[in-house]
Amino acid sequence: MDTSVLVDFLRGKALPGAERLRRLEEEEVPFGIPAHCCQEVLQGAKDPREWALLLSYLETQRIFVPKDAWATHVRAARIFFDCRRRGITIRSSWDCLIAQVVLDEEATLLHDDDDFERIRKVRPLRTMRA
């Protein structure tokens, strides 16, 4: 899942992505979180107590990490390059990296970010829009 959905879920917001994630947890549907999203979540901690709380939650989750960091980064850069060559603007190279990690895992990305729908125009990224 993408960071925006995870942050909304952790803040207890009743937004579509957070609600969908809540249902996945309740129904014990397996899911994973790209490590890059975990980094973004932890970077947003407001104090040491929140940092510890976020870390304790994230440490209990299935985390997707690149199996081959160099190859994953090269493929993520190629996503950005291919989008740009087609006139598609991706606002964050992080989104390309998250998309590539999800592609490598052959998973579906739960998100609320237009960049991922744009990436789908150049890669077979399976998404679930929040």
How far apart CA 35 and CA 41 sit, in angstroms, is 10
pLDDT of residue 1: 87
Q: Is residue 70 predicted with pLDDT exceeding 90?
A: yes
DSSP letters for the chain = --HHHHHHHHTT---HHHHHHHHHHHTT---EEEHHHHHHHHHT--SHHHHHHHHHHHTTSEEE--SSHHHHHHHHHHHHHHHHHTT---S-HHHHHHHHHHHHHT-EEEE--HHHHHHTTTS--EEEE-
pLDDT in tens, 71-84: 999 999 999 999 99
pLDDT of residue 130: 78
Q: How much is the pTM?
A: 0.90
How many domains does the chain contain in total? 1
pLDDT of residue 63: 96
Half-sphere CA count of 51, side-chain side, radius 13 A: 5
Q: What is the CATH number of the domain that holds 86?
A: 3.40.50.1010
